[in-house]
Structure 1
Amino acid sequence: MPVKPDSGREPELEAKVAFLSRPDSYIEHPAHVETVETHMSWVFMTERFVYKLKKPVKHSFLDFSTLDDRRRDCLEEVRLNRRLAPDVYLGIIAITRDTENKLELDGDGEITEWLVKMRRLPADRMLDHLLRGQRIPEQEIRRFSCKLADFYRNAPPVHISAYDYRQQFLTDIHSNREELLDHDYRLPANLLDRITNSQLDVVCNQPELLDQRVKERRIVEAHGDLRPEHICLTEEPVFIDCLEFNRKLRILDPADELAYLAMECQLAGGEYIGPIVFACYSRKTGDDPPQPLLYFYKAYRATLRAKLSIWHIKDHSADQHQKWISRAKAYLHLADSYRSML
């Protein structure tokens, strides 16, 4: 769970957010600025560019506590995302403070913060937006799937033992259950037990499903957060917002990452996308992961997303709680549907 920044930093963060929310703060003089708050960042969107400000927070899996930490992560975010979105991530830019204590973008004064600067992508070409409309043409799905397949095929395998690979799942499965059983969330315990037990059964009683992936050297440094809202179907598809802050969470089986994407597409009404994605991946890489493994990955990812959804309760007002509880339940019922296919 998050550790909030000390009270001395909160007013400074508020000042930076207020500064970046004003159009006159930017060199390009936009007509307006759109703002979005996430768990770990504030995002500011002008007509042409996107600026990401990292919150000075600390979690068990990341540390943005200091200015140096945030600068380092900004650089890593640009480096990693240029693998799949080379023309989108433009670099990092400083917020400075002048001698009159006023904030500036990329001024000559003291550096008080670092931002990631990106080219803004067309919202109407993002996969999550397209899923809300008519069926996406298969040719477009194949185009982005082939780019992903090439990325995985060319990624060097990461050394990990079969035991360590399985242990990661065991740890996470138990952690997911423990978090989701919190009485404040009022989630059905019998549903959580069914989902958890089926995933544990795969790891403990069918270890060869996971061990074989390690033996075949399929584990790579992947994207880490491959969701529809991170895929833009421009003429050359791009994939943004990879998980930059913790390398361990990017060390994945491509089949796991693509199962995650297929699960998210299914929840958004695009169940037809997953089979096309995997057909392209298998054709390009020669890798045809077994169906029970894919259902395990999907169930595991849906449960993890339920946990991440329910965490929003701690960051939002009471009138938003039911939204996130319903979202978590939708993920859990989807995980349960995969459980029946294991």
Structure 2
Amino acid sequence: MVDGADVVAFLSDPASYPHRPPEVEVVETHMSWVFLAGDRVFKMKKALRFPFLDFTTLESRRLNCEREVALNQRLAPGIYERVVAVTREPSGAFAFDGTGERVEWLVLMRRLDRNRLLDRAILRREVAAADIDQLCELLGTFYAETPRVELSVETWLQWWRDSIDRVETTLTDSFFPLPRREVDSALGLLNGFLAARADLLRARAEQRRIVDGHGDLRAEHVHLGPPLRVVDRLEFDARLRWADPFDEAAFLALECDRLGVVWIGPRLLRGLADRLGERPPAALLHFYRCYRACLRAALSIEHLRDPEPRTPERWPRQAREYLDLATAGVESVDPA
């Protein structure tokens, strides 16, 4: 049995790499270790289990690495190169794709200039209208061509009921230091929509608007290029990619609003509407925005359940930011 910490140490050492990068920058995320080594990036999945994924076996990590490379070819061609094995040689040393026992699997990617990621460009106020128009073109083509999800109307409505129930369970848990008034207000909007306007969700399923989407369309996953690409398409659970394209776009609009640039969201939604040839109701877009904000609040605050949460002071503050955005005005998401 190989200690994961030993593999992390191997990947953190510039001397381990055949191309000898001058340094290796190590980034730890909730589910992965990422090693920025010169012009290449190596991503190693942590041996974790959550309700929505299981990376505890070497085989499961291999399969998810392969899925990640395959799924990201459409929106990020040329970035996700291949899956690489870490092997333990007879000498006991680790190697890349050696002849010894395979002890870990990595995704090998070409390194992108992080200053061209949308979230960073927003903070520097360097995003142009043309950038968002190019993004609309890429996403519009993707959503028009990606497979439709075949599911019944009732299955789709139950998916929403279950999703909102899970978010509500987290946000109302007394373990978390969240303001009850803001939580109740946001959840009231979601549950009120389901009670009064479920017909809008029903129509999306009846019209076959639900697609195999990106799954995590955040600003830090949009690289402005050139050429413009969208990275980190979600690979570990296909059901989490089931979405109305305008749900994903409303999520990205929300993230741009949170970063302080409010013009991107309306332009993104209008541009996507033009390319897909439809104008979904403003009430539906507001619901999508509210749900995504509540979901992000729930995911943020859930970090406090970790035995040793990183930056524990960050998560309550971030959750409250999302709760404030959940009840923001409908005009910010209207594509008309």
Residue 129 of structure 2: aligned partner: 138
Q: Deviations over 1:9-62 (max 9, x none)?
A: 7x7111111111111111110011111111111111112011110111111111
| Contact residue 282 and residue 330 of structure 2 kept, 8 A | no
* Alignment: residue pair count: 333
Residue 111 of structure 1: aligned partner: 102
- The letter for the 2-side match of 1:332 is L
Structure 1 residue 103, shift from structure 2 partner:
1.1
Structure 1 residue 317, shift from structure 2 partner:
5.1
Structure 1 residue 91, shift from structure 2 partner:
0.6
Q: Is 1:247 the counterpart of 2:238 in the alignment?
A: yes
Residue 206 of structure 1: aligned partner: 197
**What is the TM-score of this pair, normalised by structure 1?**
0.93
Secondary structure of the corresponding residue to residue 320 of structure 1 = coil
Residue 153 of structure 1: aligned partner: 144
Residue 74 of structure 2: aligned partner: 83
Structure 1 residue 316, shift from structure 2 partner:
7.7
Q: Deviations over 1:280-329 (max 9, x none)?
A: 11111102111110010000001100111112223485782221110010
Q: In structure 2, what is the Cα distance between the partners aligned to 1:67 and 1:135?
A: 42
- Of the three residues 292, 301, 315, the one matched with 1:310 is 301
Residue 5 of structure 1: aligned partner: none
- C-alpha distance 322-338 of structure 1, shift in aligned 2 (>3 A): farther
Q: Is 1:40 the counterpart of 2:31 in the alignment?
A: yes
Secondary structure of the corresponding residue to residue 53 of structure 1 = strand
- Of the three residues 87, 91, 98, the one matched with 1:100 is 91
**What is the TM-score of this pair, normalised by structure 2?**
0.95
Residue 327 of structure 1: aligned partner: 318
Q: In structure 1, what is the Cα distance between the partners aligned to 2:63 and 2:193?
A: 38
| Contact residue 198 and residue 339 of structure 1 kept, 8 A | no
- Of the three residues 261, 265, 268, the one matched with 2:259 is 268
Of 318-327 and 83-92, deviating more is: 318-327
Structure 1: which 4+ aligned runs deviate by more than 6 Å? 339-342
Q: In structure 2, what is the Cα distance between the partners aligned to 1:199 and 1:163?
A: 18
| Contact residue 68 and residue 233 of structure 2 kept, 8 A | yes
Residue 194 of structure 1: aligned partner: 185
Q: In structure 1, what is the Cα distance between the partners aligned to 2:197 and 2:307?
A: 40
Q: Deviations over 1:171-218 (max 9, x none)?
A: 111211211223232101222122112101111221111011112111
Q: Deviations over 1:90-125 (max 9, x none)?
A: 010000001121111121111001000000011111
Secondary structure of the corresponding residue to residue 27 of structure 1 = coil
Of 93-102 and 201-210, deviating more is: 201-210
| Contact residue 95 and residue 111 of structure 1 kept, 8 A | yes
| Coordinate RMSD, CA, aligned | 1.8
Residue 4 of structure 1: aligned partner: none
Q: Deviations over 1:51-101 (max 9, x none)?
A: 110111111111111111110110000010111011000010000001121
- C-alpha distance 16-331 of structure 1, shift in aligned 2 (>3 A): same
| Contact residue 313 and residue 324 of structure 1 kept, 8 A | yes
- C-alpha distance 297-53 of structure 1, shift in aligned 2 (>3 A): same
- The letter for the 2-side match of 1:209 is L
Q: Is 1:57 the counterpart of 2:48 in the alignment?
A: yes
| Contact residue 265 and residue 332 of structure 2 kept, 8 A | no
Of 310-319 and 293-302, deviating more is: 310-319
Residue 206 of structure 2: aligned partner: 215
Q: Which runs of 5+ in 2 are unaligned?
A: none
